[in-house]
Amino acid sequence: MAMMITLALILSYFETLIPAIPIPGAKIGLPNLVTLLVLSTLGFWDALVILIIRTTVVSMLFTSALSLAYSLSGGILSLVVMYLVMRLLKDRVSIVATSVIGATMHSVGQVLCAMLIVESFSLATLLPILILISIITGLIVGYSAKFTLKHFKMMLSKGTT
């Protein structure tokens, strides 16, 4: 558990080193890899705890309180939807598709939160491009998760956490 939080934090930091993708504010969402792995092995509550600790620590280290509200809203919406997808559709949806759905929901959550902050609905016009980017980043993270999952499960069964 602690190791997963550390891993998520390192990925968050690593991500700040990658120069911005065309649209400012968009990120690859590497920490979502950890969320995905934990969600599909240890379960929803562990993933939620890791998500909250990760976003809180990251905002204390690198950003501000406002961006905490911002990344939490995206993160939690994304987590809940990914959990529901995994739970309700079980094996009918692959982990890659789950990741894409999660990434998309993350963008939607953030835009909703931003709308509340600036009290303007006009931000909705940002959604098409953001969702398009989310699909690409979701694919990247999803495939990473797919390849990591095998080893992660093996590690868990050996009890190294």
Partner 1 sequence: MKKKEIVILAILVVLLAAALLVMNIIGNQDNRKLVISIDGEEYRTIVLTEQTNMHFTIETPDGYNDVVITNGVVDVVSSDCHNQVCVDTHPASKVFDKIVCLPHKLVLEIVGDGNGTD
Torsion, Cα 72 131 113 94, to 10 degrees, reads: -40
- With beta carbons less than 8 A apart as the criterion, state whether 37 and 51 touch: no
Minimum CB distance to partner 1 smaller for 50 or for 107: 107
Q: Which of 55, 59, 83, 72 is nearest to 109 (CA)?
A: 72
CB of 28 to partner 1, least distance (A): 16
CB of 23 to partner 1, least distance (A): 8
CB of 142 to partner 1, least distance (A): 8
Minimum CB distance to partner 1 smaller for 49 or for 69: 69
Minimum CB distance to partner 1 smaller for 45 or for 143: 143
Instruction: Encode 28-91 in three state secondary structure.
Output: CCCHHHHHHHHHHHCCHHHHHHHHHHHHHHHHHHCCCHHHHHHHHHHHHHHHHHHHHHHHHHHH
Instruction: Encode 101-114 in three state secondary structure.
Output: HHHHHHHHHHHHHH
Minimum CB distance to partner 1 smaller for 25 or for 43: 25
CB of 46 to partner 1, least distance (A): 26
CB of 17 to partner 1, least distance (A): 15
Minimum CB distance to partner 1 smaller for 23 or for 154: 23
Contacts to partner 1 by CB under 8 A: 20, 24-25, 63-64, 66-67, 70, 93-94, 96-97, 100, 114, 117-123, 125-126, 128-129, 131-132, 135
CB neighbourhood size of 64 (10 A): 10
